[in-house]
Amino acid sequence: MLQRDYMLNEARKLALLLAKLMGLKAEGNPAEYEAELNRALQSEYNTELAFMLGLSEKEFESTLLAENYSVEKLNALSQILYVFAEPFEKNEATAGILKKVIQIFDLLENKHHYESFDNLNKRSHIYSFFKDYGQL
């Protein structure tokens, strides 16, 4: 029962965080959005956006595996990065972020046997981006 309560509390906390970040992004204040994003990454994942985005695909995967994040934290991280990448401008920076999102989705599916319709839909949008961008 205690484990279930902890998991529900973590899920609620991460959902509120995502909602706050999405609201800040919609308001169109990029400085405040990025500052809040970095605060969230620091408190929840003990990292910063610039560090995470600077990792190679192999380093990013190694970091995720070493940290041994829960399914909920991995899923929330994928959502945070996905929202950060929007509106999917066709450039290397966006492609790099979306590759990391795909890596998280792969980890969720292969290691944790977790799939969701939302993630499958986002994966489809990402593949469309790469097809249009010429990287698929």
- N- to C-terminal Cα separation, the chain: 45
Cis peptide before 30 (omega within 30 of 0): no
Residue 31: per-residue pLDDT:
86
Q: What is the residue extent of each domain of the chain?
A: 2-133
66-90 confidence digits (pLDDT tens): 998 889 889 989 999 999 999 899 9
Of 47 and 18, more confident: 47
34-70 confidence digits (pLDDT tens): 898 899 899 889 999 999 999 999 999 999 999 988 8
- Residues 6 or more apart whose CB falls under 8 angstroms from that of 75 comprise 14, 104, 108, 114, 116, 119
Mean residue pLDDT across the chain: 88
Q: What is the token pair recorded at 105?
A: 């989705």
* pTM, 2 dp: 0.85
State whether the Cα torsion 20-26-32-35 is positive or negative: positive
